[in-house]
Structure 1
C-alpha cells in the first residue's frame, strides 16, 4: 500500500475509497472531478472536505501518470483554463464513470446498447438472443446490490415463461435518452410485457439539477412530465 493517493472521481464510492485508504495508512491527497462540483451528495462532500480533510479539484482531469516502476505523481489539467499542475502521489485510485460487467454478453454476440454498453433489453430483461436474459449491473452501469437482487427476482418469472414455451417477441418501441441524460434502461417497450423491475425506468444524467423535470415525447407529442423532489447529479442513477 502506498502512502499518498489521488482519487479520480467525486462519487459516493470515491469518499468510501478515501476512508478505506486512511484506514490502511495511506493519505488521500486529492479528489479529482471533471464536473463543477463533486458528484456525491452534498453532505458527503462536506464531510470529505472537513472531516477527512481531502481537497477536491473540480472541472479537472488527470492527463498523465508520472513514474517508472512506481507512480511518483500525476499531472492534472483544468478543463476550462487548460492550466496544468503536478500532484505528488504514489497511488492513483480510479472510482468513476462506470461500465457494465458485459464481457460475457459481448463475447456471445449479444446486441449491446451503445449508451449503457450493456445488453439491449426490454422490460422483461430479454436480450437479443432468445433464452438469454440480463439483470443487475450487467444491464447498465453501477447500481446498489439490493436493486440488482430485485432485478433477479423480477426476471425469474420471465425465465419461467420462456421455459414454458412462450415465443420471443419481435416488435417493440425503442426508448432513447436525450441530453442531458446519457442513457435509459431498459430500452425496449412492448405491449403485453411487464412493467420494468420495481416499476421504474433508470436514467443517468451528465448535468446537475436541483429540481429535475423530465419530459417524455413521442412523435412530437408530450406523453408526460414529472418533477422530482430529489436532485439529479452525474454518478447517480435515477428511477
Structure 2
C-alpha cells in the first residue's frame, strides 16, 4: 500500500511551520518530510510530530550557505570538514526525531568546470559519502543521494540516474540508497517506468510532483496512477514524498490522493 508523506517545505504553507504537522495529519498524511530542521530545536520538532501523530521520514543534511545559493557540500573539494560536521549534526536530529534516513545534497559544480574539476568533485563525493554512510550505519540510519534536474538547479553535480547508480556502486555501502524523485527524472530523462524497474533494488525513498510546473501530481504530463500501481506491484514498502507546489491552497489540491487516504474535507 502506498504511504504518502507531506513535504512541509512546500505543502501547507498557509500555516506557520510548526502548525503544518497537525495540518498534514488532519489531511490524512501519516508521514512528513521537509528540507531542513535546523532552525528549530529537535525536541520542539519531536513534540510536534508526537502531537500530530505523524512520522518523520526524511530531511536533508545542512547544505552550506543556502541563502547564498549553496546546494549541498558532499562533492565540494576543500569543504570536507564542514561536510563531516553536517553529517554529525543531521544524525543528532535524526536520533531526536526517530528519522530513519537523511539526504546528502551533492552541491554545485563551478560554471567553468572541466573534466579535471568534475573528477575532483567525484572523488570528493565518494569519499564523503563513505564517511556519511559509515557514521549513519553506527546510528542505524540510511543516507540518500538524489539526482536533481539542472533546469531547476543549474550546475547540480548529481543530475542523472546512471550517475547516481555509479556513485552507489563506487561507495559500496548497504545503507547508501537512492532517493528517486520522479519529477526530476522526467525532466532530465523520461522513461520513468523503466528507470523505476531498473533501479528499484537501490531505492530508499520516492518523491513525486506534476511535470512541468511541479504542481499536484494529477496535473501535467506524467500519469502517476500507473507509476504508483507499478511501485506497489514491485513491492515498495517505503514512503512517497509529496514534494510539489500546490497550484492554489494545499487542501484544495489533494483530490488526487483520496485513493491513498488523503482528504479535502474542511
TM-score above 0.5: no
Q: What TM-score comes out, normalization by structure 1 length?
A: 0.27
Q: Which has the higher contact order (CA 8 A, sep 6+)?
A: 2
Q: If you compute each CA radius of gyration, which structure gives the higher value, 1 or 2?
A: 1
Q: TM-score, normalised by structure 2?
A: 0.25
More strand by share: 1
